[in-house]
Amino acid sequence: MRLTDCPPNEALAAYVSGALEEESVQSVSEHVEVCPSCEEAVCNLESSSDRLLEKLRLPLPQDPFAEEEGCDRAIELVKEIGLEPTFIGEDATVAGSNPGDASNGKKAPPPEIVGMLGQYELIKKLGQGGMGAVYKAKHTRLRRIVALKVLPANLLQDEAAIARFDREMQAVGALDHPNIIRASDAGEIDGTHYLVMELIKGDDLAVVARRRGRLPVADACEVIRQAAVGLQHAMENGLVHRDIKPANLMLSQKGQVKILDMGLALLETPFGDDDGLTSTGQIMGTVDYMAPEQVTNSHNVDIRGDIYALGCTIDRLLSGVAPFQDGKYDNVIFKAMAHVDTPPLPLGERRAGLPAELLAIVDRTLGKKPADRFQTPTEQSSTLREFHTVNRHDER
């Protein structure tokens, strides 16, 4: 992008809020770094957003998760960056469902309804991606606020898209763990495929990293540890995610990490046939976080592929970029093959002062051969636990 080609204000606002399409993030980020006017605009947008979020922030309820070791680190990170509610938010009674305004004693107006789907009122569109739109919705009988994902109309005749959507339904429905997004309903109404999930207040780690920059050691290790705990549950239920990346890891305002988007999940169960989702030679996943064996054969991937992706993710959180996310690997094929046969630039050279033990953990996680990595997510998470005591202020 040339310096004169400034992104429109809408793109800058989406960049700040984390709503910008992933393929556009890098070009906008590079432009902002060299364009003083756009940099100033981004700073003003971030400042305005922070003030608004401060007014929206509510006291958090008590939760058993708060007693877990290391949770205080994640909560401190949440407070520091100021998370805003997005399509997955934990408190199902906030944002539009408050029956009254305590400041003036008047009842708040009911939220505007944008549509109906069966027994669900669609209140607001929260996000739109290639594989579906997500709405804040309310079950009309239970009065419960949820996140409702629907397959877009243009994909209703796409067998691969329907297979992926069905796979997400099956995968989420098979799991029940605090570090994995929970589903409460799924189905098809008048040709519209939908999936209903819990609503979480928080942001994904891609947004967190863009706002916060390189994370302190304790914070990065804690969020990856929690993700590994969730992946252990997935593994024990015969599931491999195949698309672990910062954008698929949500950090709630409670400091809890939730794994999202099971649309590429490989299921080792009777309903886990992968043939309808992939074809020979097709690369499945996100190339910046893709295990070498997934590049060459996405059907032949086990949980160690997800462990590799977590390694790429912690590398991204600690260094600011994923292992091969630089100009040297400027197309998908070069980048994919780098995962297969090229050692990444050592993390210690991209960020000085990291503990030698942590560098060794990341190196092992990024082993080219699955046998060289941690063999289970539990093994990976246990090695990260000790770093929650690292003082975040001393390392800056």
What's the rounded Cα separation, in Å, for the pair 136 and 12? 24
User: Which residue from 395, 229, 377 is spatially nearest to 311, judged by alpha carbons?
Assistant: 377
160-164, 203-207, 339-343: the lowest-pLDDT one: 160-164
Mean per-residue pLDDT over the chain, rounded: 77
Binding-site positions read 149
Name every residue whose Cβ is closer than 8 Å to that of residue 32 and which is 6 or more positions away in sequence: 12, 15, 38, 39, 42
SS3 373: coil
pLDDT score at 278: 43
pLDDT score at 171: 76
pLDDT of residue 95 exceeding 50, the answer is no
User: Which residue from 246, 261, 257 is spatially nearest to 164, judged by alpha carbons?
Assistant: 261
pLDDT in tens, 165-217: 887 777 777 788 999 988 888 888 888 889 898 998 889 999 999 988 999 99
pLDDT of residue 103 exceeding 70, the answer is no
| Residues 258 and 88 sit within 8 Å (Cβ to Cβ) | yes
Q: How many other CB atoms sit within 10 Å of the CB of residue 343?
A: 10
Q: Which of 166, 219, 243, 315 is catalytic?
A: 243
| Assessment of whether the complete model's pTM goes beyond 0.75 | no
What's the rounded Cα separation, in Å, for the pair 12 and 29? 9
Binding-site positions for ATP read 149
pLDDT score at 233: 94
SS3 307: helix
15-24, 71-80, 273-282: the lowest-pLDDT one: 273-282
What's the rounded Cα separation, in Å, for the pair 373 and 209? 25
| Residues 134 and 125 sit within 8 Å (Cβ to Cβ) | yes
Taking the alpha carbons at both ends of the chain, their separation in whole angstroms is 32
Domains of the chain with CATH codes: 9-56 (no CATH), 207-389 (1.10.510.10)
DSSP 392: T
Is 50 an active-site residue?
no
Q: What is the mean pLDDT of residues 54-83?
A: 50
Helices (H) and strands (E) in the chain, counts: 13, 11
135-149, 266-280, 287-301: the lowest-pLDDT one: 266-280
pLDDT of residue 343 exceeding 90, the answer is yes
Q: What are phi and psi of 66, to 5 degrees?
A: -65, -20
Residue 170: both structure tokens together: 């099956």
pLDDT score at 92: 35
User: Which residue from 259, 175, 205, 260 is spatially nearest to 77, judged by alpha carbons?
Assistant: 205
pLDDT of residue 235 exceeding 80, the answer is yes
Name every residue whose Cβ is closer than 8 Å to that of residue 329 and which is 6 or more positions away in sequence: 335, 338
Q: How many other CB atoms sit within 10 Å of the CB of residue 278?
A: 19
pLDDT in tens, 289-327: 999 999 988 778 899 999 999 999 999 999 999 999 877
What's the rounded Cα separation, in Å, for the pair 64 and 305? 31
Name every residue whose Cβ is closer than 8 Å to that of residue 33 and which is 6 or more positions away in sequence: 39
Bridge-partner residues for 145, per DSSP? Answer: 138
